[in-house]
């Protein structure tokens, strides 16, 4: 089958790899049993869950008991942020409790922090520099005696910038502060050794790494105290009640096993640099985020005078699928908080185009994108009221 | 696109109607470089790029009949902003300035076959730009008299 469209939205979600899908299928019908039951088919399902857990533990260089399965990145982030903060409060050690995160986090972390604010925690949202990188000095200054948790993403979902996670964990290691990182976007491309990263909690999910949707992992370092946010039958060490999503767990492990190997993201990186170079030839265009400290598959460019949703829809007509940080395409009607954080320029946020590449992206796809973008930027500028 | 009947969780339209798409992909009466702004009698502008929408409307008015003989526009904005200004241009041409002054966002939205709910209040600004242009015209006439 030849594809009749070009998909440039891998940061939104990736297609499930056919090899992954094949591994998942038996667990929908033949091996459907609930892993908590006692008969033979149930044990088979349990074995599949345990085997997947061990495989993922190897990937993260941790113990299988340090991994729990959730319904996705959002749930893992929520559990990490809410679960640790509430646990410390329950102990009554630190009455107020202070959380540090960044202005460019995913809403799954930001809105969990907003919830904690309602529960009387203090929250600091660290600014980032113009390149979209957290300033370590700023972090050091923000630390307080009652800081209980720092949550900083590994790589940003909109502009792809990579945060210095290992350096941050060194700063925090000297104090008794938990460190969580959302690595959903990073998992497919960056080193994922939890020990080397020095994190206490780490989020990954299936839908960004050619695995299924609806499955996530939270790495919780041994000894970290955490309260559940769902209550029920006590699965996943009491931290995530609910019957295990066996096919998705198997699929996530299979997707992770396909990530190993050298040259991860090399082809994307080459195409990324080519596309950036070509699109920046369009006058009055600006790259959002650091030029090199970004994921190999991420491009985010603002074209002055061109509203992002309009450009996305013109490209959509050519079956080229991209996304934008413009308010017009969001349900909130606010422009991208990430581009606002790095530029403080709402027009630039409204004019942004995000292009995220994948394993299957070809030079031909890139050329198609480049020529269509040039064409429609020109067309939209001709009718634009912004000079 | 229209073969999918997509609604949001509240049951409201999510995607653009065919009429919106027609005006968005083939906008009518756009101000182009070969037209001279000075050939128009008045201009009106509304919105700001920081808010995500900026519209500018130029009008030509017959001094005797007070009918709008030509209307051209430029818009920075999303599909519904572009489509609504385009459809407005067709609605206004041929009307007297007094008639055109009364065009409402609701009339524009109806002419477009509806808009996704989340888009209505923010993207239909064309009527305001048109009224600004008509105000500009009346002011010019007054000061010339």
ipTM of the complex: 0.91
Q: Are residues A162 and A288 in the same domain?
A: no
CATH code for residues B18-144: 3.90.1010.10
Rg of chain A on CA atoms, in Å: 21
Q: Which domain holds residue A129?
A: 18-259
- Contact check, Cβ <8 Å, B50/A346: yes
A6 within some domain: no
Q: Which sign, positive or negative, has the C-alpha torsion A318, A319, A321, A325?
A: positive
A370 within a domain of the structure (yes/no):
yes
Whether A139 and A103 map to the same domain: the answer is yes
Q: Is the distance from CB of A282 to CB of A377 less than 8 angstroms?
A: yes
Residues A68 and A166 reside in one and the same domain: yes
**pLDDT for position A1:** 45
Residue carrying structure tokens 């090199």: A292
Of A326, A333, A347, the CB nearest to B118: A333
Is A278 in the B-facing interface, judged by CB distances under 8 Å?
no
B79 touching A (Cβ < 8 Å): yes
Looking up residue A161, the CATH number of its domain turns out to be 3.40.640.10
CA A364: distance to chain centroid? 27
Q: pLDDT in tens for each of the 387 residues of chain A?
A: 457 899 999 999 999 999 999 999 999 999 999 999 999 999 999 999 999 999 999 999 999 999 999 999 999 999 999 999 999 877 765 567 999 999 999 999 999 999 999 999 999 999 999 999 999 999 999 999 999 999 999 999 999 999 999 999 999 988 889 999 999 999 999 999 999 999 999 999 999 999 999 999 999 999 999 999 999 999 999 999 999 999 999 999 999 999 965 567 999 999 999 999 999 999 999 999 999 999 999 999 999 999 999 999 999 999 999 999 887 666 666 889 999 999 999 999 999 999 999 999 999 999 999 999 999 999 999 999 887
Question: B84-131 pLDDT, tens per residue?
Answer: 999 999 999 999 999 999 999 999 999 999 888 777 766 678 999 999
* Burial (CB count within 10 angstroms: exposed 0-12, middle 13-18, buried 19+), residue B87: buried
Q: Where is the domain boundary, A234, A259, A284? A: A259
Partners of residue A102 on adjacent β-strands: A126
Please state the domain extents for chain B: 18-144
Q: Which two tokens stand for residue A325?
A: 């940080």
Question: Which CATH number covers residue A359?
Answer: 3.90.1150.10
Find residues 1-60 of chain B whose CB sits inside 8 Å of chain A. Answer: 24-25, 27, 30-33, 45, 47, 49-56
How far is it, in rounded angstroms, from Cα B106 to Cα B120? 9
Residue bearing tokens 């490209």: A315
Q: Which long-range contacts (CB under 8 A, 24 or more apart) does A139-144 make?
A: A139/A100, A139/A168, A139/A171, A140/A171, A142/A100, A143/A100, A143/A171, A143/A175, A143/A177, A144/A98
Under 8 Å between Cβ of A217 and A205: yes
| Count of domains observed in chain A | 2
Burial class (CB in 10 A: 0-12, 13-18, 19+), A300: buried
* CA distances from residue B18 to A126, B2, B78 in whole angstroms, order as listed: 44, 7, 16
Q: How far apart are CA A40 and CA A33, in angstroms?
A: 9
DSSP letters for A76-110: HHHHHHHHHHHHHHHHTSSSS-EEEEETT--HHHH
Within-domain flag for A2: no
Closest chain B CA to residue A306: B76
Query: Are residues A175 and A149 part of one domain?
Result: yes
Q: Which residues of A are catalytic?
A: 328
Token pair 């009221």: residue? A385
Q: Which residues contact A21 (CB under 8 A, 6 or more apart)?
A: A212, A251
User: Is the distance from CB of A120 to CB of A107 less than 8 angstroms?
Assistant: no
Asked if A272 and A321 touch (Cβ cutoff 8 Å), the reply is no
Residue A4 counted as domain residue:
no
Domain membership of residue A72 (yes or no) is yes
A384 at B interface, C-beta within 8 A: yes
CA A366, A276, A265, A21 torsion: positive or negative?
negative
The pLDDT score that the predictor gives to residue B1 is 41
Interface test mutation site (partner A, options B4, B77, B88, max chain A beta carbons within 10 A): B77
Q: Residues in chain B, how many?
A: 145
Chain B CB within 8 Å of residue A350 CB:
yes
- CA gyration radius for chain B? 16
Of the residues A242, A259, A276, which one is the last residue of a structural domain?
Answer: A259
Nearest CA to CA, how far is B80 from chain A (Å)? 9
Question: Hey, what are B89's tokens?
Answer: 């241009």
Q: How near does any CA of chain A get to the CA of B69, in Å?
A: 20
Whether residues A119 and A192 share a domain: the answer is: yes
The residue from A236, A259, A282 where one domain ends is A259
A154 within 8 A of A181, measured Cβ to Cβ: yes
Give the active site residue among B15, B30, B122, B141: B122
Q: Are residues A338 and A208 in the same domain?
A: no
């Amino acid at each position: 089958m030849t594809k009749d469209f070009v998909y440039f939205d891998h940061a939104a979600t990736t297609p499930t790899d056919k090899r992954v899908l094949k591994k998942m299928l038996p667990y929908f019908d033949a091996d459907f049993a609930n892993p908590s039951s006692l008969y033979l088919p149930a044990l088979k399902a349990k074995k599949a869950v345990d085997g997947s857990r061990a495989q993922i533990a190897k990937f993260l260089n941790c113990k299988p008991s340090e991994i729990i399965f959730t319904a996705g990145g959002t749930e893992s982030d929520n559990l990490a942020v809410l679960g640790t903060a509430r646990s410390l409060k329950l102990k009554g050690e630190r009455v107020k409790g202070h959380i540090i995160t960044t202005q460019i986090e995913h809403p799954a972390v930001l809105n969990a922090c907003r919830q904690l604010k309602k529960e009387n925690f203090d929250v600091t949202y660290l600014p980032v520099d113009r390149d979209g990188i957290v300033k370590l000095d700023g972090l050091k200054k923000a630390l307080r005696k009652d800081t209980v948790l720092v949550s900083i993403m590994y790589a940003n979902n909109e502009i792809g910038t990579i945060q210095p996670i290992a350096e941050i964990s060194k700063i925090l290691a000297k104090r008794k502060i938990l460190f969580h990182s959302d690595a959903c976007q990073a998992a497919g491309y960056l080193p994922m050794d939890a020990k080397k990263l020095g994190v206490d909690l780490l989020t990954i999910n299936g839908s960004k790494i050619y695995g299924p949707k609806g499955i996530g992992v939270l790495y919780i370092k041994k000894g970290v105290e955490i309260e559940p946010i769902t209550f029920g039958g006590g699965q996943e060490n009491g931290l995530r009640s609910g019957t295990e999503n066996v096919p998705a767990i198997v699929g996530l492990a299979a997707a992770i096993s396909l990530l190993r190997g050298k040259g991860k993201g090399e082809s994307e990186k080459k195409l990324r640099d080519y596309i950036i170079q070509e699109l920046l030839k369009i006058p009055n265009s600006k790259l959002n985020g650091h030029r090199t400290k970004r994921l190999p598959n991420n491009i985010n460019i603002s074209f002055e005078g061109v509203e992002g949703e309009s450009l996305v829809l013109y490209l959509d007509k050519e079956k080229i699928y991209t996304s934008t940080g413009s308010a017009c395409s969001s349900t909130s009607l606010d422009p991208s908080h990430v581009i606002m954080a790095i530029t403080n320029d709402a027009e630039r946020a409204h004019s942004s185009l995000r292009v995220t590449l994948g394993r299957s992206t070809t030079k031909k796809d890139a050329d198609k994108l480049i020529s269509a973008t040039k064409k429609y930027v020109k067309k939209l500028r001709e009718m634009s009221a912004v000079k | 696109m229209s073969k999918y009947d997509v609604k949001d969780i509240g049951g409201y339209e999510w995607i653009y109607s065919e009429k919106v798409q027609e005006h968005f992909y083939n906008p009518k009466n756009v101000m182009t470089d070969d037209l001279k702004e000075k050939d128009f009698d008045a201009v009106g502008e509304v919105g700001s790029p920081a808010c995500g929408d900026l519209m500018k409307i130029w009008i030509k008015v017959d001094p005797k009949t007070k009918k709008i003989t030509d209307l051209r526009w430029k818009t920075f904005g999303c599909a519904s902003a572009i489509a609504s200004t385009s459809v407005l241009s067709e609605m206004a041409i041929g009307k007297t300035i007094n008639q055109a002054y009364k065009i409402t966002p609701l009339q524009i939205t109806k002419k477009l076959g509806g808009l996704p709910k989340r888009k209505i209040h923010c993207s239909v600004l064309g009527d305001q730009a048109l009224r600004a242009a008509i105000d500009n015209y009346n002011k010019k006439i007054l000061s010339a008299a």
